[in-house]
Amino acid sequence: MDTTILKGKPVALKIKEQLSLKILDLKKNNIIPSLAAIIVGDNPASKLYVSSKAKAFSNLGCHSEVFELPKNTTENELKEFISNLNDNDQFHGILLQLPLPSNLNEKEILKNISPSKDVDGLHPQNQGYIMQGEPKFIPCTPLGCLKILDYYKIETKSKNVVVIGRSNLVGKPIASLMSQSFSYGNATVTLCHSKTKDLNFHTKKADILIVAVGVPYLLKSNMIKEGCHIIDVGINRIDDSTNKKGYKVVGDVDYDSMIGKAASITPVPGGVGVMTVTMLLSNTVDAAYNKLLQRK
């Protein structure tokens, strides 16, 4: 069987082309889509990730600003900082880079971001809208997964979809979205996790597998049926002495073993990860559009 490689780049380019028209329209109304990104502490990976987001915004003529707060920032100080950004009309979206230092309660702090500026889709209100089938902002990674499925015309209606991972960021929202009556949904969804008994039993029944657990090579070729489609959300660093960096980036799926057995698969890197920043940009543009509509 020929396995189609579901690369994220062509999907992202198509979406950016569509966004550029929206951005031009907004600028005609003197609105520049703007994102406020907050980093607490000095996590190098977080700084690199936010830097890549800032570059993507700049390339499309949008604005982003990074606010770096010290590691010893208190919960009340961070909540007050977010409150000020909520009231700042310059910014249409607010991104709180996770993870936060261990002394801060992520769930409580995320509740303080205005739902209308929650372009990461993590506020309880926005997650509730997803459950009701009326999403306002979909978390960026699940939204990227859906766009890949749509771009490559992978049918979801009446298919058996197995999601491995139950995080609020990926697993839960993608499982909810895929089960609902959307053009990219109408599937029968099974949500698996660390307490699932006999994971193989479920994965072998899947027409579409979405894996998001952060465990390198968790999904092996003997765990799937021939012809299934695989979306690998995992991004893991493992030691590799042959690489000058000393490591390589791999997914949650044993990619090489799937070639010839899976109908399609996203690569890592180069798959879902490419989409995440693009969807953050898309959500921020939508937030700016909502602001424009409020004017009219």
Tens-place pLDDT, residues 74-132? 999 999 999 999 999 999 999 999 989 999 999 999 999 999 999 999 999 999 999 99
Angle value at C-alpha 282, between 91 and 252, nearest 5 degrees? 115
Q: What is the pLDDT of residues 128-172, one digit of tens each?
A: 999 999 999 999 999 999 999 999 999 999 999 999 999 999 999
Mean pLDDT of the chain: 94
Flag whether pLDDT at 296 surpasses 70.
no
Give the pLDDT band of residue 66 (cuts 50, 70, 90).
Answer: very high
pTM comes to: 0.94
Amino acid 217: pLDDT = 96
For 187-234, what is each residue's pLDDT tens digit? 999 999 999 999 999 999 999 999 999 999 999 999 999 999 999 999
Is 235 in contact with 268 (CB distance < 8 Å)?
yes
Is the pLDDT score of 294 beyond 80? no
CA dihedral sign, ordered 98, 101, 102, 108: negative
Contact 179, 158 (CB under 8 A): no
For 200, the 3-state DSSP assignment is helix
Tokens representing 92 are 């249409």
Radius of gyration of the chain, Cα coordinates, nearest whole angstrom: 19
Structural domains of the chain sorted by starting position, each given as residue range(s) with its CATH number in brackets: 31-116 (3.40.50.10860), 140-270 (3.40.50.720)
Q: Is the pLDDT reported for residue 244 higher than 90?
A: no
Q: How far apart are CA 128 and CA 46, in angstroms?
A: 27
Give the catalytic positions in this structure.
Answer: 53, 97, 120
Query: Which residues lie below 8 Å from residue 42, measured CB to CB, with a gap of 6+?
Result: 71
